[in-house]
Structure 1
Amino acid sequence: MTRLIKVTFTSTSGEETTGFASLHKDDGVELPKRMMMRVLAAVDAGEGYAIVAQFKGSAVPLVCVTDASYRLDMEHATSERWSTRIADAFRDPSKDQLQAYGRYCHTLSAAAVLGFFGYAAGRPGWSITTMLNCVSLIVVAGVLLAIGAAFLKGDKRCLVHLYFCSDWALPDFSFGFCATQTVSACSRTWTARAEPTDSQEPIRRLTA
């Protein structure tokens, strides 16, 4: 049975390429052609390089067997300590971790709201202490809701569509084209699509 394993190629020139290779039952790894081209280029240039695979939570260096065939060098595998992983989860969380924190805060916020209704309905009478406890539950629910919303905040998409036509003239022939461009005003990314057209006059139209 063959499965994919994540591998990273790094050379002394600073070039880094990450991809997926085939992992066989005998811990043999077959590198893809694109990564083998990086390896051959580094060898021809006389550069040093290293290929590391991510296997069962550890960084395992690969040892060349022949051509594109490598094997996992488990003796020199390295892994981060659990204390480091836990610290990184809060110091530099990933997008998935931030979403998990946001959902957790929203769950606690909903629990605080339910606690407010249950506590208020179960009291035989109202007093200053009861009112303060109820206000505290509402404040906690609101704060947790805001924190969860901040964690779950995604990227805004502000799109503006630009449509225009233009004519191009070359020595032997001329042609026209239409292009649709989508502009993201927040992330400043552009996409374009060109189409042939028989239009003879430039047309510009802006739609939001």
Structure 2
Amino acid sequence: MEIVTVVVQYAGGLEISEGATLDPATGIVHVSERLQQLLRECDTTESPPRLTVLDGGVRHLLIRDRAEFKRGETIALPIPRSAFPFSGFGHAWSKDQRQQFGRFMHTLAAASVVGAVGFWHATTSWTVAAVRNEAGLAFAVVILFLVGMDSMNGE
């Protein structure tokens, strides 16, 4: 017997997560009587739920046949997408830490804008080096702003 997590998701937004046991030989998942009773109650008022079982990091469909639950086919977990290539950096932080990091990146972006404007006004002759420095500051503004937005996750 293995301990697994059963996840019940209703279209209305209700999501229930409950521990259960799995018999690996037969694929039968033994859920608690409390969860079975809750499912029977919700069947009268809700649309049919999506039942999944999380077994060692792999998500499977859970097939419900009256009082018996059986592990079904494997479901591929979606990969989070982001425009920023290093989007995994800092996502283990708390919400407050991510927000502070995003604010810091936006502060550095604003400082780069000020530096670019100051450099623009201070330059008397536009050499290749001056153009390269100005382009570098403009590039820093864009990258720092995008990193700040990505770290906040829209919060």
Calculate the TM-score normalised by the size of structure 2: 0.48
- Higher fraction of strand: 1
- Higher fraction of helix: 2
**Greater RCO structure (CA 8 Å; 6+ sep):** 2
